[in-house]
Amino acid sequence: MVIEEIQGGVCAPTGFKANGIHCGIRKNKAKRDFALIVSEVRAAAAGVYTSNLVKGAPVIVTKKNLIDGYAQAIICNSGNANTCNANGIEIAEGMCALVENAGGISAKDVIVASTGVIGQQLDLTPMSEHFGELWSGLGDNSNLAAEAIMTTDTVRKSVAVSFELGGKTCKIGAIAKGVGMVCPNMATNLIFLTSDVAISSEMLQKALSEDVKTSFNMVSVDGDQSTNDTCCIMANGLAGNDIIKDKGADFKAFCKALNYCTVKLSRMLAKDGEGATKLIECRVTGADRKCTAKAVAKSVIKSSLVKAAMFGADANWGRVLCAIGYAGVKVDVNAIDVSFSSANGDLPVCKNGFGIEFSEEKAKEILSEDEVIINVNLNSGSSKATAWGCDLTYDYVKINGDYRT
C-alpha cells in the first residue's frame, strides 16, 4: 500500500472547506482566533476526548452532538477554553447555533472546541459578529484554520495523505494544536481530521480509538492533561470507495493511512512543546509486554530531569534508568541497555544496567541535534513502544510563569 504525502491539510480530501479569522477574542489583532471546517455533505464522525474529570463545556457539547455518529462542521476558537464557566454549555451551544443559522447545517451536526485560558467567561459577541466573515471566506484555507487554533504553538501543524482503496483515490487531512498542558490519556489537545473515505460511523470510531493509543496518547510535553483535549474526524464518503463496514483489508489500509497522519502530528506536537528546542523520542524494545514498553517509554519522556538533561545535551543516562525504575511496571534492571542516537550517530551508554565508557564529545554531538532518540532495550521479550516528548527549557518556565496575565 502506497501512502503519499500531499498538500492541503484538512481541505485536501474532496468536499471540505475551511477558514480562520481574527474575531476579537484575543487582543492581538494579528492572531487569528476563530476557525471553521465544513464538509459539503453530512459525514460519518468520531471523536476521542480528555479523560480529565474537569471537562471543557465544548467537550460535553461535542460528545452529545456526536452520539448519532454524524457531523458536518467543526467550529473552534482560541484564546479562551470555555471551561469552569457557569454559562459554558450555553456558549458552546451558541457557537453551534451560529453554524446552523448561517449555513443551514443542524447545530447537532457541529463539533465545537475551545482552547486557551480556563475559568474566564467566553463572550459569544465577537464570534456572532464575525461569523458571516468566517463563513463567506470558506475555501481551500486549511492553513488559516490551523493558525486560528494555535495558542502558544510556534508553528502550524498540518498533514495530508492520499492512498487508494479499490481503485479509488482517498485522502485524509488534519490540523492540530499543542503545545502546553499536553499529556493525553484519550487524545491530545485539539486535532481535527477530515477524510473523503466512505466508512461507517462505527468503524470510524473504532479506527480512531485504536489509533490514538499509539499516536497522541504517547505524547507528553509537561505531564498536565488538558481539560479540553479533543480529537475528531469527519469522513464524508465523497471518494466513492465501497463503504467500509467491517475489519477487512480496506479498513486496515485506512487505519494505516490514518496512523501515518497521527504519528506525524504527534511528533510535531512534541517538537513544538512549549519552550522546546528539540524532539525527544524514546524507543523501547525487548519488553515482555506492550503495556510495559508503553509505560517505560512514557516515564522516560515525562521525566523533568531527563528533559532538562536533553536541553543541556548532557548524556546523563542515569536519569533514564531512574525514570524506568519508577515507571510502575516490572522490569529486570540488570538487563537494560540504553543508547542515545540522532542524525549524528548512535552511542551506547549503559549495558546490563551498568554504565559503560563512552566519548563525552560524541555524546554532545549526538544530543545537540534537534531530534534525539533515547533507545531502551529491556532485553526481556519482543514488545515495543515509542513515545514522544521534548526538552525542558527556560522558555517553558517563561511561557507558563505568566501565561494568563
Catalytic residues: 188
Interhelix angle 318-325/304-311, nearest 10 degrees: 160
Q: Does 354 bind a copy of itself (CB under 8 A)?
A: yes
303 and 282 Cβ atoms separated by less than 8 Å: no
In the chain the first and final C-alpha atoms are separated, in Å, by 50
Window 12-51: contact mask with a copy of itself (x via CB under 8 A): ---------------------------------------x
User: Residue 329 carries which side chain, given as an amino acid letter?
Assistant: V
Considering only 81-89, 126-134, 138-146, 200-208, which stretch makes contact with a copy of itself by CB under 8 A?
Answer: 81-89
Least gap, CB of 49 to a copy of itself (angstroms): 12
Distance CA 140, CA 8 (A): 7
Q: Which of 1, 249, 291, 397 binds a copy of itself (CB under 8 A)?
A: 397
- Return the number of the residue (239 or 374) whose C-beta is nearest a copy of itself: 374
User: Residue 130 carries which side chain, given as an amino acid letter?
Assistant: H
- Return the number of the residue (7 or 368) whose C-beta is nearest a copy of itself: 368
Q: Does 292 bind a copy of itself (CB under 8 A)?
A: no
Give the burial class of 159: count Cβ atoms within 10 A of its Cβ; 0-12 exposed, 13-18 middle, 19 or more buried: buried
The SS3 call for residue 74 is strand
Q: Does 326 bind a copy of itself (CB under 8 A)?
A: yes
Q: Which of 3, 89, 322, 335 binds a copy of itself (CB under 8 A)?
A: 322
Give the burial class of 256: count Cβ atoms within 10 A of its Cβ; 0-12 exposed, 13-18 middle, 19 or more buried: middle
Q: Does 353 bind a copy of itself (CB under 8 A)?
A: yes
Residue 311 is given by DSSP the state H
Spatial CB neighbours of 111, under 8 Å, sequence gap ≥ 6: 45, 47, 62, 65, 66, 71, 73, 74, 75, 192, 230, 232, 234
Q: Does 361 bind a copy of itself (CB under 8 A)?
A: no
β pairing state of 230-235 and 190-195: parallel
Neighbour count for residue 287 (Cβ, 10 Å): 25
Considering only 65-73, 235-243, 254-262, 323-331, which stretch makes contact with a copy of itself by CB under 8 A?
Answer: 323-331
Q: Does 293 bind a copy of itself (CB under 8 A)?
A: no
Total number of residues that touch a copy of itself (CB under 8 A): 66
Q: Does 243 bind a copy of itself (CB under 8 A)?
A: no
Q: 310 is written with which cell numbers?
A: 536533553
Q: 85 is written with which cell numbers?
A: 464557566
Q: Does 152 bind a copy of itself (CB under 8 A)?
A: no
List the one residue out of 197, 292, 271 whose CA is nearest residue 235.
197
The vertex-390 CA angle with 259 and 112, nearest 5°, equals 55
Q: Which of 28, 29, 361, 401 binds a copy of itself (CB under 8 A)?
A: 401
Question: Strand locations in 229-318, DSSP E?
Answer: 230-235, 279-287
- Return the number of the residue (7 or 121) whose C-beta is nearest a copy of itself: 121
- Return the number of the residue (9 or 273) whose C-beta is nearest a copy of itself: 273
Least gap, CB of 324 to a copy of itself (angstroms): 7
Q: What share of the chain is helix, strand, coil (3-state, %, to 5)?
A: 35, 30, 35
Q: Which of 3, 84, 97, 335 binds a copy of itself (CB under 8 A)?
A: 84
Least gap, CB of 226 to a copy of itself (angstroms): 7
Residue numbers 106-135 binding a copy of itself by CB under 8 A = 117-121
Least gap, CB of 282 to a copy of itself (angstroms): 15
Furthest C-alpha separation in the chain? 69
Least gap, CB of 260 to a copy of itself (angstroms): 29
Residue with cell 455533505: 41
Q: Which of 52, 82, 158, 285 binds a copy of itself (CB under 8 A)?
A: 52
Distance CA 234, CA 198 (A): 10
Q: Which of 91, 176, 323, 372 binds a copy of itself (CB under 8 A)?
A: 323
β pairing state of 337-342 and 371-377: antiparallel
For binding to a copy of itself (CB under 8 A), which residues are involved?
A: 51-55, 81, 83-86, 117-121, 180-181, 183, 185, 222-227, 302-305, 308-309, 311-312, 314-319, 321-326, 330-331, 333, 350, 353-355, 360, 392-394, 396-405
